[in-house]
Amino acid sequence: MKDAAPGTAASACARLAQELSRLRMRTGLSMAALAKETAYSKSSWERYLNGKQLPARQAVEALCARAQEPPERLLALWELADQEWSGRARKAARPAAGRSAARPDSDRLGQGGPPDGRAGGTRDGAARTTLRVRAVVAAVCVAGLASGVGMVVLSTGAGTSAGRASPPAAPGPGCHAQTCTGKSPQLMGCGMPGRAHTLGPQRTASTGAHFEIRYSEQCGAAWARMWRSHTGDAVEVSVPNSSPQRVRAADKNDDEGYLFTPMIRAGYLTGLRVCFEPAGTGRKECFPR
């Protein structure tokens, strides 16, 4: 499954594949090493992370454990992706005035450039869903149903003024300032449209790779993003007195997409800079914001 085109919302399956790819890079494990540490083969992980097959729920849990990522959010996303992959989401949406549920944009490169958005058959022996994940998914479903019912009432009610139901408000960011450090801007909701913007000019490296700094005032955090990279290229964002946050293009799939670093606290933007490291050179090209 390809990334969403610029300006479109990524599907739950695409967002799940993207998040799992980020977690795999955080672990530093190759596909072969990841296969050795889990119950899933290298070819299975390649299909999961490339969006060609929906991963088993246990595979999501296993990768979260190795990346030291709390699993609740990704398991909730997996539930939505499972409904989407199986077609249950489309069947449920048909009675609700034929409207599909709105999905948040993904902080991922589309085919045309750097706007801010990959996917998943299930494996036998699915584990029981935790109560907490069920509650998250149920809340999403209830919100979507309530929105659909509101639209029907407004469009069919007699004697009422014409109008449209307001879409449900997006959830607030999942972190702020220091608590955002090391976390995914997409997973925490900091990279959503309207919450992030680019600081300073877009940079182009000698290799042709592009990179820039993104910043969310609501989250009090920044991150770097890179596209048109080559395998082995890395980009990092840093502020004084804090460890840099970086991401490296691990394979051709990363080269074709849009990579972003984990976030770093950037409340005052002082000393914020981005550095690009071409593959195999050991040298850095650094720029202030």
Q: What pLDDT tens digit does each residue of the chain (289 aa) get?
A: 433 333 334 588 888 988 999 889 888 888 888 888 888 888 889 888 988 888 988 999 999 988 888 888 899 889 888 888 877 655 555 554 444 333 333 444 433 344 343 333 434 433 443 444 444 444 444 444 344 434 433 344 444 444 445 545 556 788 988 899 999 887 888 888 788 899 888 889 888 898 899 999 999 999 998 888 989 999 999 998 889 999 998 887 777 777 889 999 987 787 898 999 999 888 888 888 7
- C-alpha 234/C-alpha 286 separation (Å) is 12
Q: Is 19 a domain residue?
A: yes
Contact assessment for residue 16 and residue 78, using Cβ atoms and an 8 Å cutoff: yes
Q: Are residues 196 and 147 in the same domain?
A: no
167 domain-assigned: no
- Do 25 and 146 lie in a common domain? yes
The predicted pLDDT at position 133 comes to 45
Q: From CA 166, how far away is CA 147, in angstroms rounded?
A: 8
Say whether both 128 and 234 belong to one domain. no
Within a domain: residue 227?
A: yes
Rounded to 5 degrees, what are φ and ψ at 49?
Answer: -80, -20
Q: What is the pLDDT of residue 166?
A: 52
pLDDT score at 193: 77
Whether 99 contacts 64, CB under 8 Å: no
Query: Is residue 168 in a domain?
Result: no
Burial class (CB in 10 A: 0-12, 13-18, 19+), 163: exposed
> How far, in Å, CA of 252 to CA of 232, rounded?
10
Q: Tell me whether residue 166 is in a domain.
A: no
Looking at the structure, tell me whether residues 198 and 127 fall in a common domain: no
Same domain, 17 and 130: yes
pLDDT value of residue 192: 81
**245-248 β-sheet, strand order:** 245-248, 234-238, 273-277, 285-288
Same domain, 111 and 39: yes
Question: For position 168, what pLDDT does the model report?
Answer: 52
Range of the domain at 274: 177-288
Helix (H, G, I), strand (E, B) or coil at 70: coil
Question: How many domains is the chain built from?
Answer: 2
* pLDDT recorded at residue 100: 38
249 shares its domain with 143: no
- Do residues 70 and 39 share a domain? yes
pTM assigned to the model: 0.47
Does one domain contain both 37 and 121?
Answer: yes
Torsion of CA 138, 144, 146, 151, to 10 degrees: -170
Residues 66 and 194 in one domain: no
CA distance 82 to 80: 5
* Residue 93 pLDDT: 53
Q: Are residues 135 and 238 in the same domain?
A: no
**Do the Cβ atoms of 108 and 258 come closer than 8 Å?**
yes
* CATH number of the domain where residue 75 is located: 1.10.260.40
Which of 45, 112, 103, 55 has the alpha carbon at shortest distance from 78? 55
Examine residue 251 and state whether it is found in any structural domain, yes or no. Answer: yes
Residue 41 is which amino acid? S
